[in-house]
Amino acid sequence: MHKTKWFAIMGLGGLLAMAPGARAQNRPYIGFVYPAGGQQGTTFQLKLGGQGMESVDGVLVSGSGVTARVVEYLRSIGPQDTQLLNEQLRDLRKAKTMVASATATTTSGSPTTAPATTPPGTSAAVQDEATQKLIARIEKRVREYVNRPACSSLASIVYVEVTIAPDAPPGERELRVVTPRGGASNPLAFHVSQLPEYCRKPMRTAEFQVLGKENLALRQRPENEIEDRITIPCTVNGQIASGEMNRYRFEARKGQRLVITTQARQLIPYIADAVPGWFQPVLGLYDADGKELAYDDDYRFRPDPTIVYQIPKDGEYVFAITDAIYRGREDFIYRITIGETPFVTSIFPLGGRVGEEHSVKMNGWNLGDAELTPPAKDATPGIQLLAANKDGFISNRAPFALDTLPEAFDKEPNNTPARAQKVTLPLIVNGRIDREDDWDVFQFTGKAGDAVVAEVHARRLDSPMDSVIKLTDASGKLLAFSDDREDLGAGVNTHHADSYFMAKLPADGAYYVHIGDTGRKGGEEYGYRLRISAPQPDFALRVVSSSASLRGKNSTSLSIFAVRKDGFNGPIKLDLGNPPAGFTAYPSALSANQTIGRVSFKADVVATQGPINLTVIGSAKIGEKEIVHEAVPAEDKMQAFLWRHLVPAQNLKVLVFDPSSEPPPKRVPREISPAMLAEAKVKAAEMLAKGQKFTKGQVAGRVRQVRILFDEGLLTDDFYNTKVAECECAAQ
């Protein structure tokens, strides 16, 4: 029988000394999904990078029409793992050579022993094929090993197969992975598209860049992979490596009105260890001779660029994408859609009153006879997303705010107090800063001691307006002023450009609210909603994180953030909203003026069948009314090492697991042969004679390490048995 040699005695000692200990079950984390979307009616593979995904057994995609399953999990391995794999690889190659040599020289037809990669009794041809496949898998695993990843939290990989139904609604979804004890991961964006998709090869894990030797970590790509040829309309998917530019060549006809839109920061809003705190793509369009025709690095205030361009003549064109300062790694992911697709640049008004019909006008490219889908008649107050439908193709979505207050439109000319538009409070004014250096002024009558609030919703509704507001009395005296006010509920905004003030009126009489743009800009897209009213005390809640796991018949708690509005400072009771059987909340509340707290709940069930949706609610007595709001699940994200943001998610996913439940073994090795066991004992005796002793913890850790590689299908039965026996003997 072929005897497998593991490593020298001193090598065994070093590896045992560095063996990893037991790891706690943590919430899984995904740092990127590539590609971050796909076309209706297709099946394809995704590559996910993250950490804490051991034993990943499920994938959740929000919405309907999309199914996904885990294909393979590749944990981040270390030098000891690669040493084991190289030892196994050498044994397999040596055994294969011996078998080939014996087959070539043997004339008697007697069987030749090969490594145990398949069950006994398997034919030599099948066994040889299995050995070849195992060699190829190990070679790939070792080849893709990176000793020092640029980002360790991206180094564990999950491959997922996704199937999108032909009738799956287009648009953004949330994708999460699930582990048996860690529960659901953080969500990342995943898009269902209507156009054909092109996808570049997934990146290998990026290597850490050493200062002064950055070139050693750069991706070396063949020349033919730098530029791809595509047919428009389509969506292209790629990843930008450090110092890299991706190019796409296509043919276009004279007169085509092309829209080239990028999704990058929209896919991964914050990258914690990057400055700026996200992938900042730069997009350029060139003719066949390389002449630049159009360029964009931001679409208005959004970091993701968009180019709209009318083709001047038939021919070939190229668009290219890179990072603004040539950074890159595997989570610098983009999706670029190009074609004569409908694209909404602005809508007006930006909102309306609940329960009323709304006449919304839109501007943009390639809209033609497109129709804008209005809000549902039963829509509640909040933000609705409206899209144009042109011949069945859905455009980008525009936010539309619904509220309960009376509504009006601004009426020009109203740019000075002398021409001020008279209004009666409370009121929401839908207006526009029509031209550069324009102001809209509104006059109302107030009484001494009254409090008045002026609040702008513009940037939060995708208007490029950077508002500034002020309050003056009849003499022109400035009573209140506001430029920017932070809104903790707007988790993806980094420039909180909307304005707000609350002021007490000093006397009876006429007052004026002025609104303009800080940069003195204007145009038809510079829409706003200006609320002028008495204070409307209220609150909003964020629950962090958007997923949790707990042991059966146990409890856990989550952080709660309160966004208090218009001076509300009262207590807020916390509870679960219509929880499923077996879930109850402990009495908890945010006290007066408190903005950060905890909400705790327990599960009386032993386990749930996968993650379930829970809802956290807050209730407060405001005046004579009991106000109840659902807490929006959110992820606590860091931007550029310092600033934290609460990024909203669709659901709060909670998993309850049974700690006594153990999954069945992935593989069951054959028993070790007496010869292998005897050899292992001899090696252990030699080690003990040299004074090399190891703790039970070190040995147990090493056995776990070997077992993981075996369960991953990277070690043969004989190789695994021998190594386990050597470890166990070394502990005696």
Q: How far apart (Å, rounded) are the C-alpha atoms in residues 545 and 558?
A: 7
Q: Which residues are 407's β-sheet partners? A: 428
Q: State the burial class of residue 168 (Cβ atoms within 10 Å of its Cβ: 0-12, 13-18, 19+).
A: buried
Q: How far apart (Å, rounded) are the C-alpha atoms in residues 472 and 453?
A: 13
pLDDT at 105: 57
CB atoms < 10 A from the CB of 559, how many?
Answer: 15
In the chain, the percentage of residues whose pLDDT exceeds 70 is 91
Q: How far apart (Å, rounded) are the C-alpha atoms in residues 119 and 200?
A: 39
- Residue 351 makes CB contacts below 8 A (sequence gap 6+) with 400, 401, 402, 403, 407, 428, 430, 457, 461, 529
Q: Sketch out the chain's domains with CATH numbers.
A: 195-341 (2.60.120.380), 344-403 (no CATH), 407-531 (2.60.120.380), 539-657 (2.60.40.60)
- Report residue 357 as tokens: 């019909």
Q: State the burial class of residue 713 (Cβ atoms within 10 Å of its Cβ: 0-12, 13-18, 19+).
A: middle
CB atoms < 10 A from the CB of 672, how many?
Answer: 17
Q: How far apart (Å, rounded) are the C-alpha atoms in residues 565 and 158?
A: 43
Alpha carbon separation from 93 to 82, 89, 102, 114, 300 (Å, rounded): 16, 6, 14, 11, 59
CB atoms < 10 A from the CB of 80, how many?
Answer: 18
**Residue 392 region, left (φ>0) first, then alpha (ψ -120 to 50), else beta?**
left
pLDDT at 15: 41
Mean pLDDT by 10 residues, the chain (732 residues): 33 42 67 98 97 94 97 92 92 78 54 49 70 91 91 95 97 97 96 97 93 88 90 97 96 98 96 89 97 96 96 98 96 98 97 94 95 90 95 95 97 96 98 96 97 97 97 97 90 90 98 97 97 97 96 96 96 96 95 96 95 97 95 92 90 95 82 78 72 75 88 90 79 61
Alpha carbon separation from 517 to 435, 439, 454, 494, 514 (Å, rounded): 10, 8, 15, 18, 10
pLDDT tens-digit map of 415-433? 999 999 999 999 999 999 9
Alpha carbon separation from 516 to 141, 156, 487, 525 (Å, rounded): 59, 50, 20, 14
Q: How far apart (Å, rounded) are the C-alpha atoms in residues 543 and 491?
A: 13
Q: How far apart (Å, rounded) are the C-alpha atoms in residues 236 and 193?
A: 11
Q: What angle do CA 37, 42, 43 make, to 5 degrees?
A: 85
Q: What angle do CA 365, 384, 297 make, to 5 degrees?
A: 45
Q: How far apart (Å, rounded) are the C-alpha atoms in residues 319 and 293?
A: 10
pLDDT at 494: 84
pLDDT tens-digit map of 107-126? 444 444 444 455 555 566 66
Using N-to-C axis directions, what is the helix angle for 674-689 and 9-17, rounded to 10°?
Answer: 80
Asked if residues 262 and 336 have their Cβ atoms less than 8 Å apart, the reply is: yes
pLDDT at 23: 37
pLDDT tens-digit map of 362-412? 999 999 999 999 898 889 999 999 999 999 999 999 999 999 999 999 999
Rg (CA), the chain: 31
